[in-house]
Amino acid sequence: MKNLKKADPQIYTIIKREEKRQKEGIELIASENYVSKAVLEAMGSVLTNKYSEGYPGKRYYGGNEIIDQAESLAIERAKKLFGAEHVNVQPLSGSPANLAVYMALLKPGDKVLGLSLDQGGHLSHGHPLNFSGLLYAIIPYFVDKKTERINMDEVEKIALREKPKMILAGFSAYPRSMEWKRFKQIADKVGVLTGSLTYTFADIAHIAGLIAAGLIESPVPYFDVVSTTTHKTLRGPRGAIIICKAEFAKAIDRAVFPGVQGGPHDHINAAKAVAFGEALKPSFKKYGVQVIKNAKALAGALQKRGYRIISGGTDNHLMLVDVFGSKGITGKEAEHALELVGISINKNMIPYDPRKPLDPSGIRLGTPAITTRGTKEKHMETVAEFIDQALVNKDSEVKLKKVAKQVKSFSLKFPLP
């Protein structure tokens, strides 16, 4: 970065400070990860200079022969990774990808069934201030009060009553496996009632890397359309892709461009190709196996220290901890105390939370980032101890400082990629 240092010392210093923060802290935000140097280099390449509205072989600007090769490689690798019939690699991020999916399949006002936002759904699954909630009639389904897992019989009951145009399955904060096949069966039952197709849409933004590694079941064989971000467990650049059955390819491509976006970000799409190449290697499967092992170990280590884990554990990379129910500490207080010791997490609603979204009962923790740094199960015991020490001593500046020191020396043992 010697050019940046010279040309813009202010931004250079900011980047260096952020790099230091990342090196010295424990990253437990479930949606974050660290990309490889190779992915970073592709993102920082001259491909950013090019305009290439359209798709490979069908561009609105000249000079795209080489860009076409990069985008085609990204598409080919994504198809192989997910066993997909069609992939669009141009979505700029998860939310615009979802906007394109809704646009491709629905008309404003159409009914969509999705997981309740306060039980793990995403902003783009019907938040009243998001396009999804503004444009479509979103009907929520819920997790069971007792098991804290999605109750598929309940989903079926709501679906048959409401007859939605689309059933959306996906989450930002749900620690358990999804019954993709059952969702598809329910959509087909609704289709029989209405005499038209009820679309199935899976948003695998959080778990795409674990699905690509073959570690949790994929919705791709069953669902009409699947969207995912590329920067979470998939460990690529910030962006998204849409996977679909061949019959929806035209509608999806048209919705992405010109429906939602203009020119694609060619440097990012090349970096997606690099990340997909990495994910196709056996080492990525090993990484995914460790992500899940670490999540289970961290959940277990916290349970041992008296914390209630929502649904009793995790099947994937994330967990929800009921810090208020377990220790009388609110999610906001927990987030603040952990930030002071260098541990990044986010406060999160728990199912049927008695508290409010801005200061909920829970926190969400995930292991994708710390696993990239090389931690194993035995280190989760240490991480759980840091978390417990920070929370128990949240009002003692002296004790928090001591934990912060330990967090820093622990983190420095595990270099960034």
Ligand X SMILES: *Cc1c(COP(=O)(O)O)cnc(C)c1O
Question: CA-to-CA distance for 212 and 208, rounded, in angstroms?
Answer: 6
As separate numbers, helices (DSSP H) first and strands (DSSP E) second, the chain gives 17, 15
Q: How far is the CB of 329 from ligand X (least distance, A)?
A: 25
149 among known catalytic residues: no
What is the full DSSP assignment across 313-353?
Answer: S-SSSEEEEEHHHHHS--HHHHHHHHHHTTEE-EEE--TT-
Phi, psi torsion values for 77, nearest 5 degrees: -65, -40
Determine contact, residues 400/317, Cβ cutoff 8 Å.
Answer: no
Radius of gyration over every alpha carbon of the chain, rounded to an integer in angstroms = 22
Residue 16 annotated among the catalytic residues of the structure: no
> What is the phi/psi pair of residue 19, to 5°?
-60, -40
Which one is catalytic: 203, 224, 266, 388? 203
What distance separates the 2 farthest-apart alpha carbons in the chain? 67
End-to-end CA distance of the chain: 17
Active site residue 141: no
CA distance 187 to 199: 7
As measured in angstroms, the least distance from the Cβ of 229 to ligand X is 5
Active site residue 330: no
Burial 76-113 (b: 16+ CB within 10 A, else e): ebbbebbebebbbbbbbbbbbbbbbbbbbbbeeebbbb
Distance of closest approach, residue 234 Cβ to ligand X, in angstroms:
11
Q: How far is the CB of 408 from ligand X (least distance, A)?
A: 28
Say if strands 318-322 and 343-344 run parallel, antiparallel, or are unpaired: unpaired
Question: One of 184, 232, 308, 373 is an active-site residue; which one?
Answer: 232
Instruction: Give the nearer residue to ligand X in terms of CB position, either 127 or 285.
Output: 127
Q: In what order do the strands lie in the sheet with 199-203?
A: 86-88, 240-244, 225-229, 199-203, 166-170, 111-115, 137-141
Tell me how far apart the alpha carbons of residues 195 and 174 are, in angstroms, rounded to a whole number.
32
Q: Which stretches of the chain bind ligand X, using CB under 6 A?
A: 31, 93-95, 98, 122, 124, 170-172, 203, 205-206, 229, 240
Instruction: Look at strands 240-244 and 308-309 and give their pairing.
Output: unpaired
Choice among 200, 229, 233, 375 that is catalytic: 229
Residue 154 near residue 141 (C-beta atoms within 8 A): yes
Residues in contact with 114: Cβ distance below 8 Å, sequence separation at least 6, in sequence order: 121, 125, 126, 138, 139, 140, 141, 168, 170
Task: Indicate if 229 belongs to the active site.
Answer: yes
What's the min distance (Å) between Cβ of 206 and ligand X?
A: 5
Contact 132, 126 (CB under 8 A): yes
- Provide the pairing of β-strand 137-141 with 318-322: unpaired
CB of 79 to ligand X, least distance (A): 21
Question: Would residue 367 show up in a list of annotated catalytic residues for this protein?
Answer: no
Nearer to ligand X, 208 or 337 (CB): 208
The residues annotated with a catalytic role in the active site are: 51, 53, 203, 229, 232, 238
